[in-house]
Amino acid sequence: MDGNGRWAEARGLPRAAGHRAGVDALRRVVDACPEFGIEHLTVYSFSTENWARPTAEINALFDLLRLFVNRDLRRLHEAGVRIRILGSRTGLSDDILELIDKSTTLTAQNNRFHLNIAFNYGGRTELVTAFQALARRVEAGELSADEIDETTISQAIWSAGTPDPDLIIRTSGEFRLSNFLLWSSAYSELVFPDAWWPDFDRDHLAAALASYQARTRRFGGLQK
């Protein structure tokens, strides 16, 4: 969800206003997904690298998670949305951890739509954490080194249980993954719309999906 800061600066607003508008865009996109048959959505809302930002901006992003959970959790739960927050718990305050646990537990049985919020997330940290967990199981004699394969790694990462993304959309015209879903993006299709995230709407989503549909996915094989 890139471009919140530039959206705000272009309007002479503080960056936090861009992030607030970003939450509105997130609501719009979540609401539009069922129309297109999308069942899983993972959004990148705070990266492990975002700790390098000024404290005031970090606090604004944490406040938005609080606001989002407090305002939207009940409505999303009633709509059958399962919420998972993917990321490290290290460095997060107790009240944020409680909100994460509350959203996850309340919606755990829902299956109409899966919303994953990558928060305090980094793809490399996700892999390090998974490999450490697997190494501990090897040390404990529960697993042999040879049993570590793509399936065991997929089951050990934070996004375990979520299908690999078919499509990754990065807004604001930057052509990078920036440490997002490094393991599961192996064969994802990528689109990079020019729009800043707060302007992203149903029509941008439709255009990204049309671009996706026009592609041939070979997964390393030959075209059928």
Cβ closest to ligand FPP, residue 113 vs residue 134? 113
Is 110 a known active-site residue? no
Cβ closest to ligand FPP, residue 45 vs residue 184? 45
Stretch that binds ligand FPP, among 63-71, 105-113, 186-194, 214-222 (CB under 6 A): 63-71
Q: Establish if 180 lies at the interface with ligand FPP (CB under 6 A).
A: no
Stretch that binds ligand FPP, among 59-67, 83-91, 93-101, 199-207 (CB under 6 A): 59-67
Site for ligand FPP in 36-55 (CB under 6 A): 45, 50
Q: Distance of CA 209 to CAs 6, 23, 166, 191, 196, Å? A: 25, 21, 10, 9, 17
Please identify which residue in 29, 42, 48, 68 interacts with ligand FPP, judged by CB under 6 A. Answer: 68
Q: Establish if 170 lies at the interface with ligand FPP (CB under 6 A).
A: no
Cβ closest to ligand FPP, residue 4 vs residue 184? 4
Angle at 116 between CA 111 and CA 122, to 5 degrees: 150
Q: Distance of CA 158 to CAs 16, 92, 106, 124, 179, Å? A: 28, 16, 19, 11, 14
Shortest distance in whole angstroms from residue 96 CB to ligand FPP: 10
Question: Which residue shows structure tokens 């407090």?
Answer: 70
Cα 102 to the center of its chain, rounded Å: 18
Q: Which residues lie across from 168 on neighbouring strands? A: 190
Written in H, E and C, the secondary structure of 30-57 is: HHHHHHHCCCEEEEEEEEHHHHHCCHHH
Is 2 a known active-site residue? yes
- The catalytic residues are 2, 50
